[in-house]
Structure 1
């Protein structure tokens, strides 16, 4: 047996404080018994074989006596945000999204913008407070906030799909759309489990290179498959690529990425957003407005109808706005997370009457 490390001690403290007494059995659709007490977890693309007393790559799905237990009944983040902050630009513009999140992730991105919650079980420098709550309490908070959208976000929601679905099942009867902000490193089984409760899904497409995806702890093929399945299932999909200089900003790679999205649907919104040096990429230069504009041009040249720049408000001209793909009329004007003008009429262009793709 390997000797215990400081990280092991930190993890045990986190589990005792936040998970003990709140863990529940994993959804049977997401587990397969493999013999000798081991369980195959199907929640994400790792498909971990979790032996008794061990955890999956995510560090939150635990085999206790031959049964897979998963976190339930707490949040490490809960906030009423503009829908545009997620970002969703074709979902209820100008409305509120109630965002909730837990702890942990199935990837290890050195440029993570939410590393304090996503990497808390791997990195002693990370830390986030967590609070016990029920799914109904979260849904009621969304109702009080006037939320049009309930979103599982902040950390990676694919590692706790049971909790997300429970929250969504409380939120939907209260009139909220429900969605994920996710890295998309899923399995068909996990998507089948979630789809009955999902309306919208934002995928962080980290890059379009299989080797570099491996460096992050994932696989590009599974993320591509997730996107294909979501589009086929009729879930509204938006894609974000955090443009990190020197990592994923090669023009040819961006062209391949944009061509893939166009092949799924030219109506998929692609957000290229600016990276701010932090976590383990503090030595990397920040993304500039010129970097974003170049990526935006690549997306438009590939035939994508809705490409957006993000995180540098008012620095990229009208590239934050939504235009009618048929006549070019401005439908939504934005400045950062603020909607300055909303001209849609019943989800249609007021000038030519063309339907705008999205969940308006």
Structure 2
């Protein structure tokens, strides 16, 4: 579909605002995520498929304060704006970068996703597995249909957002989980991101009225020092002591 989170610029270029990279994309080229691209001066964005869809306890997302004890139907697409060496969904998120991933999408409509949620007894529809910011137009339409059917909706994201994409998502999205990967800028550079962008996103989510929870995957030798974890705790508390923080254990799945 034609992307909505963008600005047309002279010379057939487009500026994408789906994630914090804010890619300037020339005609015939792709953004960092690889799934958003410029065709004839118009931004094209993914729509109408899932790479994965399954129903789990909502606590697995992890959301512990959004309809606790209920089930969540979670769907994903392909691609990511980061390239984390510790990714636990790498076959989905890195499918357009890593030749070892052969995963493909399955066509589906938003209505079919809502029907699947009903059939599995879910109360929540969640966009996850890949980075949902880069497929925000699709998620927003799935959520719009899902909310009409009575479901709550949520994002599971790396938090590399822009004010534009959060404003776009807010009318359709109830909850937002941010993966705070580290409190060190150099660690974010290793995966293709900026800590500063994520630290700007978290208070912005609160200001815009999303329910926010945060998770940190603790990786030995990478982000597990007492000092860094204390820095994360202090930052989260400075935004709001009401934000739940999940600290999870690492298991090697990728590189």
Note the 1:86-125 alignment, pairs <5 A. 86-125=61-100
Taking the aligned partners of 1:57 and 1:270, their CA distance within structure 2 comes to 29
The residue aligned with 1:61 is: 36
Taking the aligned partners of 1:107 and 1:62, their CA distance within structure 2 comes to 17
Taking the aligned partners of 2:223 and 2:102, their CA distance within structure 1 comes to 28
Taking the aligned partners of 1:170 and 1:258, their CA distance within structure 2 comes to 36
Note the 1:1-360 alignment, pairs <5 A. 24-27=1-4, 30-280=5-255
Taking the aligned partners of 1:213 and 1:127, their CA distance within structure 2 comes to 27
What SS is found at the alignment partner of 1:36?
helix
Give a deviation string over 1:193-236, Cα, whole Å, max 9, x none.
10111100111100001111111101111111111111112211
**In the TM superposition, what is the alpha-carbon distance from 1:116 to its structure 2 partner?**
0.4
**In the TM superposition, what is the alpha-carbon distance from 1:165 to its structure 2 partner?**
0.2
Q: Which runs of 5+ in 1 are unaligned?
A: 1-23, 281-360
Give a deviation string over 1:39-89, Cα, whole Å, max 9, x none.
000100000010010000000001000000111000000001110110111
Query: Rg larger in 1 or in 2?
Result: 1
Taking the aligned partners of 1:268 and 1:192, their CA distance within structure 2 comes to 20
Could you say what the CA RMSD is over the residues aligned between the two structures, in angstroms?
0.8
What SS is found at the alignment partner of 1:162?
helix
Give the TM-score, by structure 1 length: 0.70
Taking the aligned partners of 2:155 and 2:119, their CA distance within structure 1 comes to 21
Q: Which runs of 5+ in 2 are unaligned?
A: none
Question: Would the aligned equivalents of 2:88 and 2:252 in 1 still touch at CA under 8 Å?
Answer: no
Taking the aligned partners of 2:102 and 2:162, their CA distance within structure 1 comes to 28
What SS is found at the alignment partner of 1:55?
coil
**In the TM superposition, what is the alpha-carbon distance from 1:143 to its structure 2 partner?**
1.6
Taking the aligned partners of 1:129 and 1:82, their CA distance within structure 2 comes to 25
Taking the aligned partners of 1:79 and 1:145, their CA distance within structure 2 comes to 9
Question: Which portions of structure 1, spanning 4 or more consecutive aligned residues, are displaced by more than 3 angstroms?
Answer: none
Taking the aligned partners of 1:142 and 1:278, their CA distance within structure 2 comes to 28
Number of aligned residue pairs: 255
What SS is found at the alignment partner of 1:261?
helix
Taking the aligned partners of 2:102 and 2:81, their CA distance within structure 1 comes to 17
The residue aligned with 1:342 is: none
